[in-house]
Amino acid sequence: MYKIYFKTAWRNLRSHKATSIINISGLAVGMAAAVLIFIWVQNEFNFDTNQPEEANIYRIKSYLAVDKTSTWIWENSPYILGDAMKRELPEVEDVARISPNTYRAVYLNVNGEFFPEKAMAYVDNHWFDVFKYDFISGGSKAFVRNPFSIILSESKAKKYFNKQDAVGKTIRIDSVDYQVQGVVKDNPANSSFAFDVLIPVAAKQSNKSEKDNDLDWGNFNYMTFVKLHPGAKLAPLSQKIKEILHKNRKEDNLKIGLTPLAALHFEDDLQNSQLAHGDKKVVYVFVALGILLLVIACINYVNLTTARASLRAKEVSVKKIVGAGRLQLFMQFIAESGLVSSLSLILTIVIIWLALPAFNQFTGRNFVLSFGSGYIGLILLGTLLVAVILNSIYPALLLSSFKPMSIFRGTSVLHLKDTSLRKGLVVVQFTFSIFLIIGVITIYRQLKFINSQNPGYKREQVLTISLPISTFYKYKGDAREALCGSVKQALLSQSGVNAVSLMGTHSIQDNQNLSSGGTDWDGRAKDFDPSIAFFNIDPDYAKIVKVNLLEGRWFMPGNLADKRNAILNETAARELNLHKPYVGQRFVSRGDTGQVIGVVKDFNFKSMHEKIAPAIFKNHQDYVNTFLIGIAPGKQADAIKKIQAVWGQYFNNEPLEYTFLDQEFDRLYKNDTKSSGLMSVFAIVAILISSLGLFGLAAFTAEQRGKEIGIRKVLGATVSGLVALLSKDFILLVIGALVIAAPLAGWLMSKWLNDFAYRIDMTWWIYATAGIIAVSIAFVTISFQAIKAAMANPVKSLRSE
């Protein structure tokens, strides 16, 4: 019986090839887009679940109250806390600590060839006891025994040593040799720990100053993970950890939390993080988008199937007369839907296979279409099942409900409600499509607005270079200031270099808001401790970044008093409640009493998602580690060669690593740009699917109204008049969709724009542009069939009359 169902379904598909192609291709495109989205969503919601004991693993979270109204939330805690917890807390089974190095690249010297590596971290001896890795060769035992060991991911081992076994090989970092003790499989796409190079903490602590820092209860420089015994109570444990900290820190402004390993990925309250994080709101948006694309694709099938119901009415009636029951007919149409969906699935797999490289590039993941991976198969089968259900229920009920006697009497099989449903489904399709068009236009305009805004400082033709890590730790205080001064003068002597300055962070955007503790000024209330961004710079900083001085003066070279003085931005002068005039006010920092010598115009040293924070500029050259180099226009390539030569003179074994300020600025909006690109692609997919359905409906409408068109043409109707006749109803449906989509999209996009401190307005022309695009696409789609029908010979359509 089932064989007959599918033979009949196959015969029906072959007899209506155009409709079948539209149904299969439209459904395949929609399913492919939905499956890609669901693969990414599944990955986002399952971060770190690959760890066998993830339910018992937690990370310490530090809450530091900086004043009555603000609290800093850190993922870090003191290194020494781990040892104390293992000694004093019976609930703790084990503790593991990690100190990532993701802010700047470390150069690995492999047989004289240098490789920059940012995905590196220091881990303690218990890391491999708490977290499980799949070792391809070697193991963790030798890694624990030898402080100067290194473990590589599989991809890095192949990169550094080709097909040779990496275990036992030597890698030099900062003049220290490390022996490869193991190679592990690459981290899965849903791991927070995207580190390819692991080194023992013991190697870092072989430097006495580093070890002293780690043993200081005031240094929050490690992520601490605790593996708890099953049944441990979190609230009492958090209180016990807090008591350990308070006992050793003698301060009462700290609270402790425990974050489950599986919850790390969607943490959104941290001051800063060195782990891979996601945005749950964005994930939910794409969940909705995947469902919408699948629904849009299924609407095509439902619309075209029900529209062509009249052509199959006699077939159904004859089958009923000869004894076919409604259930048998229902199952036949379910089989047809299943066959279409199954054929679509085959095409879906091909589309996914072709699109996956580009999708991986967009998302920054490395998904593989592997049917050996259980979740990929489940997503494909789940999507197929949903498609079959959405495609089949209503058409099967409608077609199996025909009454034979009504058909043979010539009564219409399609009621007004069926036609209204099809029109409603077209409106739904284009509502979704227009919604996405408005979203894409809004995101594009906002990102363009941000890039066109002057952040208040010069970011073009400015190079940043940080001191090598080994040099940074070797030279401190006056020695570092002297070395940087010498390098600066050498750089200034090079052609193509306009100016050189020094600052204390790797880029302008890296300045973090810190407590104002240790600072004081006239008029400050005792309990007033606002967050401030501190810039450690030299007197030439303003020459390069071109910040505007509103009052007073800039730091003067050679003026020793300026090492104690400060310059404020407008927000700091206003929010710190300094007395006017600001210049000349007492200002204390790091125990040095100086005065405010200038006020600069506010500039956006952070993302435009954030409002400008109070900023203090200090002439502390012993704290600097980065060169800012102004390059002459048109001299970029030559200047970089000259800079490399100077670098080689001072840091012979260290490769030159540089970035441009404008690249750092663009990095702030990387996630927004990525979301915009994905949204654009899926908006195009939605419009394509909707247009395919509209094309099929227009073809069927032209076919059904063939005799009417023939009569009108005989009576003198023009081609343009006939095109308008056939297009009018469809265009009105698209306009109706615009009326529904505009307020919904406007509301949602306004909420998205509210995440920016500086944003565009949702103006009327955004909606008008979306409407014009949708109506134009619909008109072009319909016009092809309308013109074809209007140009046809009327004799052919009237011959049967």
3 CB-contact burial (10 Å; exposed 0-12 / middle 13-18 / buried 19+): exposed
Winning range, highest mean pLDDT, from 145-149, 605-609, 650-654, 755-759: 145-149
CB–CB of 32/352 below 8 Å? Answer: yes
Helix axes 764-791, 706-714, angle to 10 degrees: 80
The predicted model gives 257-286 an average pLDDT of: 83
In tens, the pLDDT along 357-394 reads 888 887 777 777 766 555 667 777 777 777 777 666 66
The predicted model gives 458-484 an average pLDDT of: 80
What is the residue type of 764? W
pTM of structure:
0.77
Share above pLDDT 90 across residues of the chain, in percent, rounded to a whole number? 16
- Look up residue 715 and give its DSSP letter: T
Name residue 503's beta-bridge partners. Answer: 537, 626
CB–CB of 360/678 below 8 Å? Answer: no
- Look up residue 621 and give its DSSP letter: G
Give Dmax (Cα) for the chain: 107
Residue-level pLDDT at 184: 94
In tens, the pLDDT along 288-338 reads 888 888 888 888 777 777 666 555 555 665 565 655 555 666 666 677 777
Residue 66 pLDDT level (bands cut at 50, 70, 90) = low
Q: Where are the domains of the chain?
A: 1-47+276-314+323-372, 54-266, 415-453+666-801, 469-653
Residue-level pLDDT at 413: 47
The predicted model gives 228-234 an average pLDDT of: 89
Residue-level pLDDT at 740: 93
Residue 783 pLDDT level (bands cut at 50, 70, 90) = confident
Q: Which residues contact 275 (CB under 8 A, 6 or more apart)?
A: 75, 100, 192, 193, 194, 223, 264, 265
In tens, the pLDDT along 565-621 reads 999 999 888 888 888 888 888 888 767 788 999 999 988 887 777 788 888 898 876
Q: What are phi and psi of 578, to 5 degrees?
A: -70, 150
The predicted model gives 737-753 an average pLDDT of: 90
